[in-house]
Amino acid sequence: MVKRILSHPNVYSGDGRDETRTIRRRSYERENDVALINNNRTNSVPMITIKNSISEEEQDQQQPKKKTSIGPINITTINKSNQIQTEIREQWSEKLDFLLSIIGFAVDLANIWRFPYLCYKNGGGAFLIPYVLSVILGGLPLFYLELLLGQYYRQGSITCWKKICPLLAGIGWAVTIIAFYTDFYYNVVISWGLYYLFASFRRILPWSDCNHAWNTKDCSTVNRRRIFLENCMNQSNNTINLSEKFLERNFLYENCSEELTRLKIVSPAQEYFHLQVYRLKPESKLSLAHLGNINWENLVCLAIIYLICYFSMWKGIKTSGKVVWFTALFPYVVLTILMFRGFFLNGSMKGIEYYIRPDLTKLTDASVWVDAASQTFFSLGPGFGVLMAFASYNDFHHNVYRDAMITVAVNSITSFASGFVIFMFLGYMSEISGRDIKDVAEQGSTLVFIVYPEAIATMPWAPVWAVFFFLMLLTLGLDSSFGGSEAIITALSDVFPILRQRREWFVGILFSFYFIIGIPSCSDAGIYFVELLQNYAAFYSIIIAVLFEAIAVSWLYGIERISEDIKEMLGTKPGKFWIITWCFIAPLFLGGIVVSGLIQHVHSDYGKLTDPFYYKYPDWSHTIGWVFALSSVIFIPAVAIYQLLMERGNLLTRFRLAIRPWKERQKHINPDIIISTNFVDTQYPT
């Protein structure tokens, strides 16, 4: 009897007779399909032997010695018309291409502009305790799980989740749309780095003084602000006794610092970003409803970023896998150079002390643990579909466990090491400005585009250090941008294969659309638009999506099935640690972030209330933001409802049918099918 083979994900014919074979498909009515579950008819299906390995002697005779370089493979599937479809799927040219790609994606701007500030804010060295626990119990298991799923099913997020759990197939659409939304603003932030990089090729950095056309009367250099503080503090009563001197100084400093803030005296770096990179002039009365004119310099920088992305990705992983050799490794060269330079700056040791000085009392604050969990999750980046897309181009038996361990370790070490660099410079900034570190320490774009550039501007050979720093930001951002775009491209190409065949056009159209969406971000008040997208595009929606991922794999697909899949790939089943974290700790980890985030949620505004460029977002913008956030995760319940409606039987039966994985569905529809997940020659039984 001739057997049918449904390849998952690859089949090679061993005897060359597949063209003459007839592929039969046994069709069952929905009522019979329901009966298969209720009476366990699958037990009556004859056992099919699948050849999973061949001897070393046969391997030497049939094929040459395996090389490190991996080429494209054929993926053979059976479509709804009972016809064989064969598609060519790329594989990474070198194993290191994959490793550097996921490292480049995981290590991004958040490692530079968020982790150091959180560490300082939440107890210095004590913050490492909740952070390391979050990495081990939450971040690493989710990171590893997504790599496993991508490598096993060799599909992007949309089709992968449809095969894992049809009921929650909406997860794939949700994470793809979230990645799509994130690219709307993330590439704009990268373009700021390019803008600053171009501006750094000058003898005097344009944000170092107040002698430019965009500067206002409130502009004040570091030296002038220091003199203001000293004069203010010298007004103290010289008759106070020595025992009160220290307390008096602290009291006076706080008063004078508040006076400096009240007068809204701003730095040249602040004015450069808000009045030159953007055009937030008070007299213009700009807002979300009135963004002003287009800043053409910004627009050109954004266009260059998309051109870089296009020519790095238009040929697939063949090109992007080579580009990451520079973009993933270069930041570490710059980070090392900046660390060496910062070590010799005045005040650097003071900055390091503030950074790592442990305050164990902070560990009793629940917000510290939430910050650690959030930083872990968003730094490693599970849930955006990127890891699944990258892993789908791996060899089926690739040691993805090793790569997951290496990437998570590199990401955490990079975060901690970057904190030393940042706080060395903040200590230096504190020293030359006369202000406490708590008054100069910031996070986010304010740190990397205002505070840090101002510190660099006061150093000898400032343009050289500025070029190094912004090149580092540029390469850090591009890596993550490649990952987000590849997640979308892979996911949609697996759903619509024609897009893979026309990849150059598809990528060009995608980035052209991104560019059009980015035009408002390049207007006079475009920063308001960027911040709104950043606040609502991904935070809650991606955590909710990954929460459903953990539930789908651990409780619906089942830990036994995933364990067998892992054994098929890597040779061994996962240990108890992975099972416990996937089933219990990861869902609690994600649920805790969602609940605490919703409890502590407040509407974000642009800047602080005391800032001269403060902007309060109107209520309607927050409503739009929430609609924007929910527009992605709404696919999860929508697809689930649709799937239940498409099944037959009572609600419980529909549910049981809807959670049945792809492999079992195919076996129930066609019991004689052999599902192969290996990449060796598969013999046709007769």
Q: Which residues are annotated as a binding site for Na(+)?
A: 104, 106-107, 111, 379, 411, 476, 479-480
Residues in CB range of 619: below 8 A, 6 or more apart: none
Q: Which of 186, 212, 229 is nearest to 269 (CA)?
A: 212
Tell me the C-alpha distance between 266 and 108, whole Å. 29
CA-to-CA distance for 86 and 532, rounded, in angstroms?
Answer: 44
Q: Are 380 and 110 in contact (CB under 8 A)?
A: no
- CA atoms within 13 A of residue 576's CA, in its CB half-sphere: 0
57/55 Cα distance (integer angstroms)? 5
Q: Does residue 524 contact residue 284 with C-beta atoms inside 8 Å? A: yes
Cβ atoms of 287 and 615 closer than 8 Å = yes
Chain-centre distance for alpha carbon 463? 31
Q: Is the dihedral of CA 295, 301, 306, 311 positive or negative?
A: positive
* DSSP-assigned letter for residue 459: S
Neighbouring-strand partners of residue 7: 676
Q: H or E element: which one contains 676?
A: strand 674-676
SS (H, E, C) 599-668: HCCCCCCECCCCCCCCECCCHHHHHHHHHHHHHHHCHHHHHHHHHHHHCCCCHHHHHHHHCCCHHHHHHH
Please check whether residue 535 is in contact with residue 604, taking contact to mean a CB–CB distance below 8 angstroms.
Answer: yes
Residue with tokens 């951002």: 477
